[in-house]
Amino acid sequence: MSDHDHDHESSAALSNRVKTLVAQLEQRDLLTEAKLDATVETFLLKATPANGGRVVARAWVDAAFKQRLLDDASAAVAEIGIDMSHWAPVKLRAVENTDREHNVIVCTLCSCYPIALLGPSPAWYKSAEYRSRTVREPRAVLAEFGVALPPDVRINVWDSTSELRYIVVPRRPQASEGLSEAELAALVTRDGLVGTALL
């Protein structure tokens, strides 16, 4: 699970490729750097953990949607108007926390992350320490985030790639039965969607 064979490029190499591509597009009058920046800014304004919260809340109240989400998360999130194909097609997989299993997401070689659902990734997610330790000692890392799990709860570590991203469906909080879907969505945090927090 966590030993995916990544095919990531270094940040510097990728940055150079982007600069070259933008320069070529500008030379051909197809795109300007200002228009590209505006597009990225618009995307990032819409990329927020509230999107992931909407997905999880729908799964909590709609068992059929939850099953579709677990079977084909990319198609399920598209049903509620969230586009995961922002720059290139990315497959999304949802993994569900239960009373016996807890899921946590990492990207061991860089910081692949479903920005459209979780917003920009936090600094700790990109840190070398998180990326290496989460695979080796997930229980200890989770404890540092304040997530103390019983010893009989299995921890699954999911390693994102440039083609495959993950989202955790946290356990629904107790005493939330009377809440509306919108109220439930507001309970969902970015860290809960990564698996480094309980709700």
Domain residue spans in the chain? 48-194
Show the CA angle centred on residue 69, arms to residues 71 and 98, nearest 5°.
90
Given the residues 111, 127, 132, 176, the one annotated as active site? 111
CA distance 101 to 103: 7
Q: What is the pTM of this model?
A: 0.79
Identify which has the larger pLDDT, 34 or 134.
134
CA distance 178 to 78: 27
What is the Cα 154 distance to its own chain's centre? 21
Active site residue 85: no
Active site residue 111: yes
Active site residue 162: no
Q: Read off the pLDDT of residues 37-73 as tens digits, 9 standing for 90 and up.
A: 666 565 565 678 999 999 999 999 999 999 999 999 9
CA distance 52 to 97: 15
Which structure tokens are listed for 179? 């809440």
Segment 117-131 shows an average pLDDT of: 92
Given the residues 107, 132, 160, 162, the one annotated as active site? 107
Indicate the CATH number for domain 48-194: 3.90.330.10
Long-range contacts of 41-45 (CB under 8 A, 24+ apart): 43/86, 43/116, 44/115, 44/119, 44/120
Active site residue 110: yes
- 3 pLDDT band, cuts 50/70/90, is very low
Amino acid at 133: R
Given the residues 2, 110, 121, 162, the one annotated as active site? 110
